[in-house]
Amino acid sequence: MYALPRCIQPVYAPILHPKYLNRTRVPSPCPSSGWTRSFHASQNLRIHQLAFDHHDNGGKATGSPIVILHGLFGSKKNNRSMSKALARDLSRPVYALDLRNHGNSPHDSTHNYTALAEDTEAFLQQHKLKDSTLIGHSMGAKTVMTMALRDPDCCSNIIAVDNAPVDAALASDFPRYVEGMRKVEEGRVKSQKEADAILEPYAKDLPVRQFLLTNLIRPSPSEPLKFRIPVRTLANALDDMADFPFTNPDERRFNKRALFVRGTKSHYVTDETLPIIGRFFPRFELVDVEAGHWVISENPESFRRGKPQRLL
């Protein structure tokens, strides 16, 4: 399967979208007084050290770094194959992160894009990563967009996979997934098979259930399986995951290169969002990949072929 040619320019050329630059102002702009520059925590947030995997192709990857962020209910493991491929193909070190409340990273009752951005900004500072390419899928996409608008100097460019810088309700699937995961924990299951049977009414597609069930762990041999992610915390954060911290592109803008990749079967980046993307990210380029929302895992080869080499 190949990336669909919705954009006229070739994938490998940076593109400017001037027709999106002079649209009407986004309504109800919010004041930016709460914005803080990169690497400086706001007073109300606690910064967490994030778990990560480092891929450097056996020490041969020496270029500028790539940092890749997963989506909601995911982890760094979701991006392991792609991270290895990018490190090998581009000779650039790749850092695949676990965002807070996911994977092996710490849990916190606060889960919004400002918190996710500040954790990741601190990671860049701690590991002295400069001129990075930030890649994020879904929740990770809004996180890298938030970082780019908070402090454009924090990275060289961004790749946002299947999300847009707008307030938009999550698909109704996500609340069902949360309910299903709660039922699994209430069932005190002893096996993946039992968990899958309980989850099936809430997630009909087997690949989605398999994805969600990667979060199941057994705390000890005698205990039932449980999710390593804090299901209740993430359930309470679903509204925050639908929001975007910035509403006025006249106040915050990222004038470096930005690639937006969307799945052709997904609704998260509609044509109606393109003018807003163009105002926040005036040098953005759009690439479509034949896939649903989980673009990288559903169609990794098209994602790899569709990446702009001059951006990466």
Res 7: pLDDT: 37
**pLDDT (mean) for 10-29:** 30
Contacts of 242 (CB under 8 A, 6+ apart): 167, 168, 169, 170
Number of domains in the chain: 2
Nearest 10 degrees: Cα torsion 117, 119, 120, 126: 140
Res 23: pLDDT: 29
> Of the candidates 195, 219, 236, which is a domain's last residue?
236
286: nearest Cα among 294, 297, 275 = 275
Confidence of residue 261 (pLDDT cuts 50, 70, 90): very high
Residues 184 and 229 in one domain: yes
Tens of pLDDT, residue by residue over 102-128, are 999 999 999 999 999 999 999 999 999
Helix (H, G, I), strand (E, B) or coil at 67: strand
Residues 126 and 248 in one domain: yes
As annotated, the active-site residues are 138, 293
Res 286: pLDDT: 94
| Separation in Å, CA 67 to CA 130, 176, 246 | 11, 30, 22
Q: Is residue 89 part of a domain?
A: yes
Res 81: pLDDT: 94
CB-facing half-sphere around the CA of 52: CA atoms within 13 A? 22
- For residue 27, list its beta bridge partners: none
Residue 294 pLDDT greater than 90, yes or no: no
The sign of the CA dihedral 51, 57, 58, 62 is: negative
CB < 8 Å & 24+ apart, contacts of 36-43: 36/118, 36/150, 37/150, 37/151, 38/121, 38/124, 38/147, 38/150, 38/151, 38/153, 38/154, 39/121, 39/122, 39/124, 39/125, 39/151, 39/154, 41/118, 41/122, 42/114, 42/118
Res 22: pLDDT: 32
Distance CA 38, CA 244 (A): 17
Tokens of residue 99, six digits? 């965002």
Res 169: pLDDT: 74
| Separation in Å, CA 83 to CA 68, 70, 78, 144 | 8, 11, 9, 17
Residues 162 and 188 in one domain: no
**pLDDT (mean) for 212-220:** 94
Q: Is residue 20 part of a domain?
A: no
Tens of pLDDT, residue by residue over 133-178, are 999 999 999 999 999 999 999 999 999 999 999 998 776 788 999 9
Residues 158 and 196 in one domain: no
Res 282: pLDDT: 97
Tens of pLDDT, residue by residue over 222-253, are 899 999 999 999 999 999 999 999 999 999 99
pTM of the model: 0.84
> Of the candidates 236, 253, 287, which is a domain's last residue?
236
**pLDDT (mean) for 271-299:** 93
Residue 4 pLDDT greater than 50, yes or no: no
The H or E element containing residue 115 is helix 113-126
Res 45: pLDDT: 73
